Structures are given as C-alpha cells and as structure tokens.
Chain A
Amino acid sequence: MLITINDQDPRPVYIQIAGQVKEQIQRGELKAGDELPSVRELAGSLGINMHTVRHAYSILRDQNLLVFRLGQQAKVASLRSQPAGTKEIATALNRQLDELLTEAFLLGLSADDFRNLINEKINQRKEQKK
C-alpha cells in the first residue's frame, strides 16, 4: 500500500489517505483480506497525528471497505458482488455529485463539457485496467 500526503492538496489529510486506499482497492492492488498498517505505524512513518489515520480508517469502515476491530489489524473487506441499489447510491453520492456540478457550472462548463469530462475520466480508468 502506497500512501503519500500532498501539501498542495486543499483536502484534509484524512480524506487524502482514505481516497488513496479506495483507489488502490478499486485498481485491485489491495485485495480482500489484505492487511493495512496499524494506525500507529502509518501515522509514525508519515509524521502525522494518529487521530488523522484513525479518522481515515473509520471513514473506510463506514463505507464497508475495511474491517477493523479493536486490537486487530485493519483488513480490506470483501467487495460487494452486486451493484448498490438506487437508494444506497443516492445517499452515498448525491451530495458529492451536486457539489461537483455546482463547481463545474461555476467554472463555466456547459452540460456537454461536463459529460465529456466524465466520459474521458471513465475511459482513462478502463485503459489503466487493461
């Protein structure tokens, strides 16, 4: 597992960590059952607070991507085999999609520009998977 902290990134550190773990799970670099470093180890080697790492891990646990109990090493959870239902998607993504759209329109993007941008990103992911 490769984790880095970008000072230039405006997002808080715990979101950066959670984001990188998610990406590595999505790319298949981290598989179900793979262990993650302990909170202390990761925080120590990145020179950040343990609470930051714990926060990142609990976000991932709340999203059912990590399993971790007190006193146990955090592990990648087995991924869902079925796509999430509409209701679940609505709660998980609605707010972020709304925010993203607002940002895009404020930057002056048209609806078509936005659609193209999304398609481009999806194609990039597909290329990477090959």
Chain B
Amino acid sequence: MRFKLIHPLWTHLPAILVFLVTIVFTVMALPLPDSAPVHFDINGQPNGYGSPWISTAILLVLSLFFIILSVVLDELWARQETRKSFNWISLFDEITVSDLCAVQIAYINMLASSTYIFPFPWTTVLPVTAIITALAVALELRRPYRHYEQKLLIEDTCQINDELLKLKQSGQPLVYWESQNPAYAGMLAVIMPALLFIVAIVTWSEMAWLSILMILIGLGLTLTYGGFRTLVTRDSVTVKMGILGIKLLRLKISQITSAEVHAFAPIKDFGGYGIRFNSEMQAYFLNGNRGVKVATAEGKKYLIGSDHPERLAAVISAIVL
C-alpha cells in the first residue's frame, strides 16, 4: 500500500515560509563575523563569545526539526479524527519556528549594527509570531476532513474464553503477559541516549552542568528500553516499564469491578503516548488506539493500552468475575 498523508502538507506553509525567509535574510547578511557575542544576560549584555554560525546553525536545525515533528504529529491527529476538528497541535511548528526565526532575524540585524547589545527582541518576535500563527489558523480552518481507513482486527476470543472458564474453576496458578514495545520506543531508548552522550562529551569542557543533565536524561531514557508490559495473575493486574520493570500500575483483582475494550484517540484524548492522564482516567500506552478500560470499586478508571485488547479484557474479566 502506498503511503499517503491524510493531513495536507500545505497547512505547514506559514512555518516553511518564515523558515525560508530567515535563510534568505541570513544569506543576504553574509559574511558573518568570525567572532561575535553568542550568549547574552537578561539585560542583553553579551556574556559568551563564539562563531555566530553556531547559534545560526542551532536555530535553523531546531526550526527544521520542529517542522518535521509537526508534520508527524499532525498526521497522527488526522488519522485519529472521526470528524473535522480544530487541530490546535498544528500551530506548534508555526509558533516555535516563528519565534526562533524572529530571534535569528533580530540577531543578524544586531550583528549588522555592530552595537553588541541584544535584549530579547519582543518587537520582532511578537508581530512575526502573531502573523504567522494567524495564517496557520486560517489554513487549519480550511483544512478538509479526510477519512482514514483503519484496519481494525477484532479478535475472536471464544476459544480463550472456554480455556479461561476451565482455568478459573481449576484454581491453578496462571499468568497472562503481553507487551507494548513499538519500534519508535526502542529507538528513543537507544539512539536518543547515544546522541545525548555524544553531545555531552563535546560540550563537557564548556558547560559541564549541561553535560551532566544530558547524561542523566540519556540514562533515564535508556531505562525505558523494553516498553510497557502488562501482567495479569490471579491476584493482580500490573503494568511495568523498561529494563528494571518499574511498576507503573498495580491493581488488585478484588479492587476491579469491570474491564472492557476501549477505543481512543491518543493525541486528541491524551495529547500523546506514554503515561497519560485526562479528566476521566489514567492511561498507559505506547502504541495503537485501543486498550482495556479497567474500573475499580473506588470509582477510578485506568486505560491499559494493548495490541490484543479483546484477549486482555477477556482474561481480566474471567479472573474478576
């Protein structure tokens, strides 16, 4: 099957436009000085010097990264839409990129003026961000709704139900286990820490505290390797995470009153993936848009993401009832 974007790319045009304008603006200001202030204190007085190319490169690479991230997030949103809704996440790239680019434009202007004082350029940032965001809102409002055909495989649990009934009566120890460990989570736990460690080594001599922070974040990410695991025994339902099997959720079977398959929209309902909350429930998922909603006697609700929600719901229900 050919890959097709559901969320049209033209909704990102304002961000791309301001990005291109900034590149043109920077090119026109060439050559940049070899050495210039690259860091300023709160009053705009320079307190760090270096090549202006470093800050320029950081701003441009970050902008590009935000645009790509926004394309991915918007696509996820569009695929989870059941009717046209205003995708406020689509403004993410416009707001971030116009901020960054306005700062870059003001910075280039400052270099040209050769008075090296740089208070935060509100007078450039605010109007640029306002115009670009307004454009993005207009485009988002005009975005058509496109239906995304989802392959929904509903599992037949007849056989497992028979098996569970027999097991339930036998009183034998039993364990049901499943994992959610999508490829992106594996990459986040391996490639991101590797990148952070490399950057930490490079910046060690200049900013040791930043390196230590990056190493700690990297180590934290490494611990998530292995994704989420759900374990059901006769006594409890447990959700664990990562290498160390950190317990995220543990519900005693006696607490549980019901377990049913629940379909949801990760971005719209919970604003992303991972450990999530909304007004109705607490959720644990890394993948897909279906899971098992578990209700407890105290009136709390939990959503456990699953690649086999029918099976998981059948097992929990069989043990609870």
Specify which chain B residues have a CB less than 8 angstroms from the CB of A7 in the assembled complex: 172
| Total number of residue pairs linking A and B with CB closer than 8 Å | 55
Specify which chain B residues have a CB less than 8 angstroms from the CB of A27 in the assembled complex: 159
- For A1-36 the 0/1 string (1 means CB < 8 A from B) is 111111100000000000000000001010000011
Query: For the complex, is B229 an interface residue (Cβ under 8 Å from A)?
Result: yes
In chain B, positions 159-188 with a C-beta closer than 8 Å to chain A are: 159-160, 163-164, 167, 170, 172-179, 181
Complex contact B315–A37 (CB within 8 A): no
Specify which chain B residues have a CB less than 8 angstroms from the CB of A73 in the assembled complex: 179, 181, 226
The distance from the CB of A1 to the nearest CB of chain B, in whole angstroms, is 5
Which of A6, A42, A128 contacts B175 (CB under 8 A)? A42
Complex contact A47–B173 (CB within 8 A): yes
- For A111-130 the 0/1 string (1 means CB < 8 A from B) is 00000000000000000100
The distance from the CB of B160 to the nearest CB of chain A, in whole angstroms, is 7
For the complex, give the distance between the alpha carbons of A9 and B303 in Å: 36
The distance from the CB of B269 to the nearest CB of chain A, in whole angstroms, is 26
Complex contact A37–B177 (CB within 8 A): yes
In chain A, positions 85-129 with a C-beta closer than 8 Å to chain B are: 128
The distance from the CB of A71 to the nearest CB of chain B, in whole angstroms, is 10
Specify which chain A residues have a CB less than 8 angstroms from the CB of B240 in the assembled complex: 41
Complex contact B174–A4 (CB within 8 A): yes
The distance from the CB of A105 to the nearest CB of chain B, in whole angstroms, is 30
A24's closest neighbor in chain B, by CB? Answer: B160
Specify which chain A residues have a CB less than 8 angstroms from the CB of B160 in the assembled complex: 2, 29
The distance from the CB of B22 to the nearest CB of chain A, in whole angstroms, is 44
Query: For the complex, is B245 an interface residue (Cβ under 8 Å from A)?
Result: yes
A43's closest neighbor in chain B, by CB? Answer: B175
For the complex, give the distance between the alpha carbons of A41 and B315 in Å: 18
For the complex, give the distance between the alpha carbons of A3 and B173 in Å: 9
Complex contact A1–B176 (CB within 8 A): yes
For the complex, give the distance between the alpha carbons of A2 and B178 in Å: 9
Complex contact B170–A2 (CB within 8 A): no
Which of A2, A5, A37, A38 contacts B163 (CB under 8 A)? A2
For the complex with contacts A2-B174, A73-B179, 5 further pairs of A-B residues with Cβ separation under 8 Å are A2-B163, A37-B229, A37-B231, A42-B175, A45-B233
What are 30 contact pairs spanning A and B, CB under 8 A? A1-B177, A2-B160, A2-B163, A2-B164, A2-B176, A3-B174, A3-B176, A3-B177, A4-B170, A4-B173, A4-B174, A4-B175, A5-B172, A5-B173, A5-B174, A6-B170, A6-B172, A29-B160, A35-B179, A35-B181, A37-B175, A38-B245, A41-B231, A41-B240, A42-B175, A42-B177, A45-B175, A47-B173, A73-B181, A128-B159
**Which A-B residue pairs are the 3 nearest by beta carbons?**
A4-B174, A37-B177, A45-B175
Name B residues whose Cβ lies closer than 8 Å to a Cβ of A.
159-160, 163-164, 167, 170, 172-179, 181, 226, 229, 231, 233, 240, 245, 311, 315
